[in-house]
Structures are given as C-alpha cells and as structure tokens.
Amino acid sequence: MIVLGIESSCDETGIAVYDSDRGLLAHTLHSQVAVHAEFGGVVPELASRDHIRYLVPLLEQALKQAKISKAAIDGVAYTAGPGLIGALMSGASVGRSLAWALGVPALEVHHMEGHLLAPMLEDRPPDFPFVALLVSGGHTLLAYVKGIGQYELLGQSLDDAAGEAFDKTAKLLGLGYPGGPALAALAEAGRSGVYKFPRPMIDRPGLDFSFSGLKTFALNTMQKAAEKDNGELSQQTKADISLAFEEAVVDTLKIKCRRALEQQYCDRLVIAGGVGANRRLRMELARMIRQLGGELFYPRIEFCTDNGAMIAQAGCFRLMAGETQPLEIEARARWSMQELKAI
Ligand code: KG4
Ligand code: ZN
C-alpha cells in the first residue's frame, strides 16, 4: 500500500510517500523559519498562508522523487491535530480533496503518534512494549507503549513542554527563534559547573515534569550575572548559562526516563519529538541505557522535528489495519493520545 503523508501542524510543511512493502520512498520539507524569525515566534496566520503556498509544489516534488504518479497512491494521511487550527486545516483540506479526487481513503493522523512511531522509519525499529519519551515544542510526556494506539500515559509536563522551555530561555538570552537548536549550539561553548540549575520535581514520586521554573531561574541568573558584568552579559556567560540550563533539562528527563523504565520493568526506551534532536539528551540517555543493559531507539535528526514521513508511516499502519473515517474535515488544536484506537 502506498500512502501519501501530509504534515502542516505548525511551522513546517512536510510531504512524504510511504510504501508498506518498501518503506519510505520520498519526503520533502519546507521550513518556515525565515517567515517567523523577525517576529521571534510562530505567527499562526502567516503559518497557514505559507502552508497553502508550499503544499502542492512539495507534493509534486515528493511524487517525482518517489517516481510514482498520483494514480499509484492508495491512501492519504494528514495531521489533524494537535496544532494550529489554520495550519492543520491547510493540510487537511489538500489531503481530503486529493483523496476524494483519486477515490482513495483519507485518514487523520495524531501528530504525537506520528512522532512516537518515527523510530520505526529506521532500519532497527523497536519491538513493543517500550517506554517512550516524547519531547517536542508543545508536549513532554512519558508513555508505556504496548502497541499502536495503546498508549498508557505515565507522566507529563504540568506547565511548559521541554521544547517550550528551551525556546523561552533562548529568547531571554537574545538567541531568537527557533531557540532550542540555538541554545544547544551556544551551550557547546559553555563551561560546566559555572552555574548550577535545579532539577525540578525529581524529589517527588511520580513521572510528571515541570519546566517553567527553569526559565525563571535562568532569568534570575542572567540578572545577577549582568550586575557583576556591568549590565552586559558576555558571550561566555551566555554560553555558561545555556549549558547549565541544558544540563538541568537533560538530567531531569534522564532521571524520569530511568524511573519509568524501572517502574514498567522495561528496558527499551524510545525518544521522539523535536528535543530528541538534542545531542546531549541522546548522549546522556544512551549512557543511562547502557548502564541498565537496555536498548535506546530514536529517529534520525530530521525525523525528530516535524516531517511528513512520520505522518505517512503512522497513516499507513492505520489504513493497513482497515481504519476508515467519514469525509468531513476536522482539525483539533487539542487531542489526547488516549482517544486513539488500538490496532
Ligand atoms: O517536534 P517539533 O519539531 O514540533 C512540535 O511538535 O512542537 O519540536 C520543536 C521543538 C522546539 O521547541 C525546538 O526548540 C526544539 O524542538 N528543538 C530542540 C533542538 N532541536 C529542536 N531543543 C533542544 N535542542 C535541539 N537540538
Ligand atoms: Zn512535532
């Protein structure tokens, strides 16, 4: 079965062609960084317009890359949420209409399910069950995954998502948008131990997270450092603060992942979502998993952040299982993963 996947939930337009027999045949991506950079964050209306501009050209490019015609498509999968409503509607309209015109089924895909299953795009996919750490700009959660659609929520962020905390702290440091990768890059020049940030909620039992306090801690640290440095933060101080912040987030995630694995008597861990692209996080989780004698799985960097491949794949799994949906277009800003059907 050949499935066309469409991702347009936020600031990336992604299209991919996934074949149930041969795997990923093609994927194309357009990032809106340049559109939103001058505003310091994503402007929803501009995001929708940009998706509309790029969806069809990217689709044609993906078909060309996959060396197939539209007639070869057996199904269309598109992100229906969670995300920005206008942005989601752009991809959903194109997906539904194309499927209707071709006389093939179309299926809504949950963006976070796409992320969660993204490691299955790789050569060494994880077996079920596994513990998944989903860390993106909008969500931070730990789930116990027994199969597709069987997601037991173990814990989640009570306030900011990890990616959001990276982005907000980066903004405080004057690093602009998108902040996470910029902060991580600056942290490379940081000196460990100059500043020490707290590890939120590790003393409490359970697997929930809270990251908003780290951003406030960063602000206070910056103000104190600026007083010492005659009001201006040096580049080295910014790098030291970035590193201390990154270490605190990574350490907190690592501690909770370990706790989740022990609680579930599981030794397979999957990391997915944009923050999963963070080098230090991958390195530290790999070290922890080695100590436990377990296995760590993550998608290649480009499939950690938003992309069409993960949507095409998740849609293909569900279409192959015979899932069908009515013709109406429904986009959801919020959508719990627990509502998904097990297949
Ligand atoms: O999954 P994603 O592309 O979009 C959402 O579904 O939210 O995740 C985007 C988030 C942003 O907050 C971005 O700053 C963060 O992932 N991110 C990173 C890195 N690359 C992306 N955070 C830390 N280090 C990185 N290398
Ligand atoms: Zn995402």
The model's pLDDT over 82-136, given as tens digits with 9 standing for 90+, comes to 999 999 999 999 999 999 999 999 999 999 999 999 999 999 999 999 999 999 9
The residue range of the domain holding 84 is: 2-117+305-339
Give per-residue pLDDT as tens, 30-89: 999 999 999 999 999 999 999 999 999 999 999 999 999 999 999 999 999 999 999 999
**Which one of the ligands is nearest to 275 CA?**
1
Beta bridge partners of 26: 17
CA of 101 to the centre of ligand 1 (A): 35
Tell whether omega for the bond before 178 is within 30 degrees of 0, i.e. cis: yes
155 and 234, same domain (yes or no) = yes
Kindly state the average pLDDT of the residues 216-229: 94
Kindly state the average pLDDT of the residues 157-173: 97
Q: Is residue 22 situated within a structural domain?
A: yes
Q: Is residue 6 situated within a structural domain?
A: yes
- Of 136, 157, 250, the one to substitute when testing ligand 1's pocket (max ligand atoms within 8 A of C-beta) is 136
Model confidence, pTM: 0.96
Let me know: does 104 contact 125? Beta carbons within 8 Å.
Answer: no
Let me know: does 189 contact 241? Beta carbons within 8 Å.
Answer: no
Nearest CA owner, ligand 1 atom 3: 305
CA of 301 to the centre of ligand 2 (A): 13
103 and 190, same domain (yes or no) = no
Kindly state the average pLDDT of the residues 296-323: 97
- Of 12, 166, 247, 282, the one to substitute when testing ligand 1's pocket (max ligand atoms within 8 A of C-beta) is 166
The answer on pLDDT for 235 being more than 90 is yes
**Which one of the ligands is nearest to 180 CA?**
1
- Smallest CA-to-CA distance from 240 within 253, 254, 225, 229 is with 225
58 and 86, same domain (yes or no) = yes
- For the chain, give the longest Cα–Cα distance: 68
Please say which residue of 298, 313, 330 terminates a domain: 298
Average the pLDDT over each of 225-234, 282-291, 316-325 and give the range with the smallest value: 225-234
**How many folded domains does the chain comprise?**
2
CA 121 from chain center: how many Å?
15
Nearest CA owner, ligand 1 atom 20: 181
Let me know: does 297 contact 269? Beta carbons within 8 Å.
Answer: yes
205 and 324, same domain (yes or no) = no
Give per-residue pLDDT as tens, 176-210: 888 999 999 999 999 999 999 999 999 999 999 99
- Ligand 1 is surrounded, with C-beta below 6 A, by 10, 136-138, 163-164, 166-167, 178-181, 184, 273-275, 277-278, 305-306
The answer on pLDDT for 141 being more than 90 is yes
Instruction: Say what percent of the chain tops pLDDT 70.
Output: 100
157 and 259, same domain (yes or no) = yes
Tell me how far apart the alpha carbons of residues 86 and 92 are, in angstroms, rounded to a whole number.
10
180 and 277, same domain (yes or no) = yes
Q: Is residue 227 situated within a structural domain?
A: yes
Alpha-carbon dihedral angle through residues 341, 133, 26, 99, given to the nearest 10 degrees: 20
Task: Specify the DSSP class assigned to residue 201.
Answer: T
The answer on pLDDT for 230 being more than 90 is no
198 and 223, same domain (yes or no) = yes
145 and 193, same domain (yes or no) = yes
The stretches of the chain forming alpha helices (DSSP H) are 33-36, 44-66, 85-102, 111-117, 162-172, 179-187, 212-228, 235-264, 279-292, 309-320
CA 178 from chain center: how many Å?
14
Kindly state the average pLDDT of the residues 271-288: 97
**β 75-81/106-110 pair status:** parallel
CA of 27 to the centre of ligand 2 (A): 16
Crossing angle of helices 44-66 and 85-102, in 10° steps, is 30
Signed CA dihedral, 166, 171, 176, 177: sign only: positive
The answer on pLDDT for 20 being more than 90 is yes
**Which one of the ligands is nearest to 283 CA?**
1
Confidence band for 231, pLDDT divided at 50, 70 and 90? confident
Signed CA dihedral, 198, 200, 205, 206: sign only: negative
Secondary structure element (H or E) that encloses residue 79, with its range: strand 75-81
CA of 22 to the centre of ligand 1 (A): 29
CATH number at residue 63: 3.30.420.40
CA of 115 to the centre of ligand 2 (A): 7
What's the confidence (pLDDT) of residue 164? 96
285 and 143, same domain (yes or no) = yes
CA of 331 to the centre of ligand 1 (A): 22
Ligand 1 atom at minimal distance to the Cα of residue 112: 6
- Of 7, 8, 188, 305, the one to substitute when testing ligand 1's pocket (max ligand atoms within 8 A of C-beta) is 305
- Smallest CA-to-CA distance from 140 within 40, 309, 271 is with 271
What's the confidence (pLDDT) of residue 189? 98
Let me know: does 97 contact 55? Beta carbons within 8 Å.
Answer: no
Secondary structure element (H or E) that encloses residue 175, with its range: none
Please name the residues in contact with 153: beta carbons below 8 A apart, sequence gap of 6 or more: 141, 142, 143, 337, 338
Q: Is residue 123 situated within a structural domain?
A: no
Q: Is residue 92 situated within a structural domain?
A: yes
Report helix, strand and coil shares of the chain as percent, to nearest 5.
Answer: 50, 20, 35
71 and 170, same domain (yes or no) = no
Tell me how far apart the alpha carbons of residues 82 and 141 are, in angstroms, rounded to a whole number.
14
Nearest CA owner, ligand 1 atom 24: 278
CA of 137 to the centre of ligand 2 (A): 7
Let me know: does 161 contact 138? Beta carbons within 8 Å.
Answer: yes
Using a CB cutoff of 8 Å and minimum separation of 24, what contacts does 59-62 make? 59/4, 59/6, 59/15, 59/28, 59/94, 59/98, 61/15, 61/28, 62/4, 62/15, 62/16, 62/17, 62/26, 62/27, 62/28, 62/308
CA of 136 to the centre of ligand 1 (A): 5
Pair of tokens at residue 93: 């309209």
Q: Is residue 170 situated within a structural domain?
A: yes
133 and 275, same domain (yes or no) = yes
Question: How far are the Cα atoms of 118, 127, 146, 306, 317 from residue 124, in angstroms, in the given order?
Answer: 12, 9, 18, 21, 17
Tell me how far apart the alpha carbons of residues 136 and 145 are, in angstroms, rounded to a whole number.
18
164 and 283, same domain (yes or no) = yes
Q: Is residue 122 situated within a structural domain?
A: no
